[in-house]
Structure 1
């Protein structure tokens, strides 16, 4: 009997080790998707998956999902550090009727990278990218179009960072980029070399966006203000540098190229061209717009004035 029990224990231990090995083998550091793939595959280069959602469960934390060929790879929810990279193919997500093309709900220290992909809501998808939780979201060379709310909605529940570079966002009914942290969240946002256009607002920051930097970008032809910081209580601070901000809010007398709304909202501006808007600079209800004196605010219906100036040396 003792020998039998020993044999059973050894068999159980061997089975446990086999299951662990199988689980470890199931998650690769690099996986692949293809328009002709299948989610029952291991997502290897020679046996790719068909969707990002299928690949993510087979990709280890801090791994990379790559795109083999053009295709629509479906919406995805991300709960760990990972990179989705379309490479030179520019993999696409059609998010018709979905809450978002990509939802990020990861751990407090997790870093998520979205690179070289396009997201199309076909007017019924809600957000292009929706961030709920995580350490850092990096968006590089991404195209987002035709969503019914925000292109990128950054609403962290903790202390999180957003980096957006080389990205185009158009036809977002809400805001192209919208930082709106949750009740106990804070945001630090960096935006560089983006094109946001034909949306509700261009770039909008609300309560507890502790710092947002917007640089080297085109912000134009949006229905409301091009750049807006707004808060009456929790501090919102923005720096806008070397941007072309034009033709926003046409027909909307309250819109501005740059608007600071509420006593806790401050926007520092330098080297910008602000033109063709109903109001060039629009401080409102106690908001502050502080100029370095190097901006060209011209040919707006009302050019407006900064509330303060900084002299550089």
Structure 2
């Protein structure tokens, strides 16, 4: 009887080790997708998956999903720290009628989207929608043709957004929209981005504690180019060395740079603001502070800052 029980224990232990080994094998730190792959594959380089959604279930937290060859790899929901990297080929997401990437990860998770194209085919909702996570990093990504926002950053906690070297265009809502939940805050950094031919270029709303926009072009949007907007929470936006032109194409009350609401502050330096219905606009108690190094010219109404800081 004892020998029988001992045998059962050994068998159970062996089965447990097998399950652990199988699980570890299924969760690789590096996986691959290909236009000719199959989601039934293990997502290795020699047996790649077909879609990002298929690969993410076989990729360990903090792992990388890479693209082997050009193709469309489908919309994906991300619930853990992960990097999706298109590498040197055209890795794309066609998100017709849906959202391209949804991020709903852990409080400290870092999610990276790198070297990919996200296309809504004029029926997609948001290009990237962030609901939860520690940090979202978007590098060298093109987002276009969505019916809502290009990037909707809507964190439920305290989260960070970084966008570099990216183009966002032809979205009906806002190219980059930070709108934290009631218990959330946002800190955002945009550098070398192109935001154009959308509803708004940038809109930062309540509890966007800090947003910095640098070395960027924000042009030809239907409403304001950059808008800091507060109703019940602090919003601070810094715009430095940017080109903000020809916005307000269908809205005569729009501005190239606008601060709206009693707790909204927009700081402006080394920036060209031109060709807008109003260059600088402040309303509802919003503060718009100029460092005196800007060129606000050739707007229908150039407008004025609410305060000026002279630097030496």
Query: Normalising by structure 1, what TM-score?
Result: 0.99
1:117 Cα deviation from its structure 2 partner: 0.3
- Quick one: distance in 2 between partners of 1:107 and 1:185? 14
What CA distance in whole angstroms lies between the structure 1 residues aligned with 2:139 and 2:49?
A: 23
Partner of 2:8: 8
The 10-residue stretch of structure 1 (25-34 or 247-256) with the greater mean CA deviation from structure 2: 247-256
Q: Whole-Å Cα distance in 2 between the matches of residues 119 and 137 of structure 1?
A: 16
Contact 2:223/2:250, CA 8 A, preserved across alignment: no
User: C-alpha distance in 2, partners of 1:38/1:13?
Assistant: 33
What residue in structure 2 maps to residue 36 of structure 1?
A: 36
Give the corresponding residue for 2:239: 240
| Partner SS for 1:61 | strand
Q: Does 1:175 align with 2:174?
A: yes
Q: Structure 1 residue 61 and structure 2 residue 61: aligned? A: yes
Compute the displacement of 1:9 (Å): 1.2
Aligned twin of 2:299: 300
SS at match of 1:13: helix
Query: By how many angstroms is 1:252 displaced?
Result: 1.4
The residue aligned with 1:73 is 73
Separation in 1, partners of 2:166, 2:292: 28
**Matches of residues 1-313 of structure 1 in structure 2 within 5 Å?**
1-98=1-98, 100-313=99-312
Unaligned runs of 5+ in 2: none
CA distance in 1, matches of 2:183, 2:11: 50
For the residue of structure 2 that corresponds to 1:194, the secondary structure is: strand
- Deviation of residue 174 (structure 1)? 0.4
1:83-133 residue CA offsets vs partner (Å, 9 max, x unmatched): 0000011300000011x1000000000000000000000111100000000
Deviation, structure 1 residue 25: 1.0
Instruction: Give CA-to-partner distance per residue, 1:38-79, whole Å, 9 cap, x none.
Output: 001010000000000000011111110000000000000001
In 1, are the aligned partners of 2:235 and 2:264 still within 8 Å (CA)? yes
Please give the alpha-carbon distance, in whole angstroms, between the structure 1 residues aligned to 2:81 and 2:119: 24
Q: Distance in 2 between matches of 1:251 and 1:181?
A: 27
What displacement does 1:2 show?
Answer: 1.6
| Deviating 4+ runs (over 6 angstroms) | none
Say what the alpha-carbon RMSD is for the aligned residues: 0.6
Shift of 1:251: 3.9
Q: Per-residue deviation at 1:6?
A: 1.0
- CA, structure 1 residues 280+166, in 2 after alignment: closer, same or farther (shift >3 Å)? same
> What secondary structure is seen at the aligned counterpart in 2 of 1:24?
helix
Q: State the alpha-carbon separation in 2 of the partners of residues 251 and 180 from structure 1.
A: 23
- Looking at structure 2, the residues matched to 284 and 155 of structure 1 have their Cα atoms a distance apart, in angstroms, of 24
Q: How far is the alpha carbon of 1:250 from its aligned partner? A: 2.2
Structure 1 SS opposite 2:17: helix
